[in-house]
Amino acid sequence: MSGCYEPIPTPALVSIQPTPTPPTIIKPTTTGPGLYPAGWIPPVALERSWSAIIIHHSATTYGNMAIFDKWHKEGNGWNGVGYDFVIGNGTYSGNGQVEVTFRWQQQQTGAHAGGTPGNWANEKGIGICLVGDFNRTVPTERQMQSLVRLVKFLQARYKIPASQIYGHGSVPGGHVTDCPGKYFSVTRFKAML
């Protein structure tokens, strides 16, 4: 099986039946220009105090949230896709389309950056996966535009400084991985913020 995720156990198995999105109470946001999609804002009653953002590639040339959800359930035995957000590359979702996962909507602990002390990267880090194998290609321009918009929103909402934005492989204390790939420059990305 491919992908950058690691075979770490998730805590308590939670029901994986699709549940209707709970009613969302949307706080007015004053962050940045324009309105943000409501799905980016979790139900306020559940909202965690996130302190980091961790960027991944899928290490596959194609995919979308549903495909990774299936792989992570069947291949890793997890309760669903490990990331909070998935940004498509035009294969099985739109080029630059941001999909919001159940994990974000329910504010669950992530399953995308294992090995850190106290599992901090999964507890406190928001996991964003761009579809693509960035050891072979660069992200699409639209993926990068969406990533910038999403990360700016998350930074503003949770007061996350640029120093707390990581590529998966540079997460302090995390497992060794080349994710998000040699053609994804975290430094260049941060310069776009």
- The site for Zn ion (CB under 5 A) is made up of 4, 56, 168, 179
For the bound state, the minimum distance from the C-beta of residue 57 to Zn ion, rounded and expressed in Å, comes to 7
Instruction: Report the C-alpha gap between 43 and 112 in whole angstroms.
Output: 22
Q: Which residues contact 109 (CB under 8 A, 6 or more apart)?
A: 10, 11, 119, 122, 123
For the bound state, the minimum distance from the C-beta of residue 90 to Zn ion, rounded and expressed in Å, comes to 20
The alpha carbon of 29 is separated from its chain's Cα centroid by a whole number of angstroms, namely 21
Alpha helices in 89-140 (DSSP H): 102-105, 120-124
For the bound state, the minimum distance from the C-beta of residue 169 to Zn ion, rounded and expressed in Å, comes to 8
C-beta of 56 vs 124, nearer to Zn ion: 56
Alpha-carbon dihedral sign for residues 192, 173, 117, 10: positive
For the bound state, the minimum distance from the C-beta of residue 81 to Zn ion, rounded and expressed in Å, comes to 13
CA atoms within 13 A on the CB side of 24: 17
For the bound state, the minimum distance from the C-beta of residue 26 to Zn ion, rounded and expressed in Å, comes to 30
C-beta of 36 vs 189, nearer to Zn ion: 189
C-beta of 87 vs 179, nearer to Zn ion: 179
Residue type, 33: P
C-beta of 41 vs 113, nearer to Zn ion: 113
C-beta of 41 vs 59, nearer to Zn ion: 59
Query: Measuring CA to CA, which residue among 145, 190, 144 is closest to residue 167?
Result: 190
